[in-house]
Amino acid sequence: MEVKVWDEMSAAERRIDDLFRAFLGPRARFFFPVIPSAWHRPFVPPADVFVRKGDLVVRFELPGIDPAKDVKITIQDGTLVVSGERKKKEEIKNVDYYRMEASYGAFERHVQVPEGIDEKKILAEYKDGVLEVLIPAGEKAISGSATAILIKTAA
């Protein structure tokens, strides 16, 4: 629900921007910059969940992170939990922004996993800004405790 509000605000900002450009020309952005405080929206990495050869695959778009430091993957109570933080590399003053569309901050995504998986066979790989978690089909029941998953990074 929260993300929908930000999408609506973004669409309204674009319509207002187009209106000012229609009357004032292409340099209208210099006169009416975006108010940065309105653009601090939460970071929610997009996820794709699909089946490949009977295995469940979950992909997250996480550009600009160090998966070894910034991401934690666990299986807890039948749920894959991917949490972490996307940090800004450099600090730019709010007054210097004319548009801020990139999101930063802490995130946590939950994906239900099928029963009977073997938690020890779950693989995670980070390559080119995409984190892929492979959950092989299995027959072992899921334990009630949390299990951490190591992330393999491309060389």
Domain ranges of the chain: 1-32, 45-153
Q: Are 130 and 59 in contact (CB under 8 A)?
A: yes
Q: How far is CA 95 from the centre of its chain?
A: 26
What is the pLDDT tens value at each position of the chain, 155 positions in all? 455 666 777 777 777 777 766 666 555 554 444 444 444 567 788 999 998 888 889 999 999 889 889 999 998 888 899 999 988 777 766 666 666 677 788 899 999 888 878 888 899 999 999 999 999 876 544 444 566 777 778 76
Residue 20: what pLDDT?
66
Right CATH number for 45-153 from 2.40.50.100, 1.10.10.10, 3.90.400.10, 2.60.40.790?
Answer: 2.60.40.790
Residue 77: what pLDDT?
85
Residue 17: what pLDDT?
72
> Which residue from 74, 75, 52, 71 is spatially nearest to 60, judged by alpha carbons?
71
Residue 1: what pLDDT?
46
Q: Are 75 and 82 in contact (CB under 8 A)?
A: no
Residue 141: what pLDDT?
44
What digits encode the pLDDT tens for the residues 12-44?
Answer: 777 777 776 666 655 555 444 444 444 456 778
Q: Are 146 and 75 in contact (CB under 8 A)?
A: yes
Residue 36: what pLDDT?
47
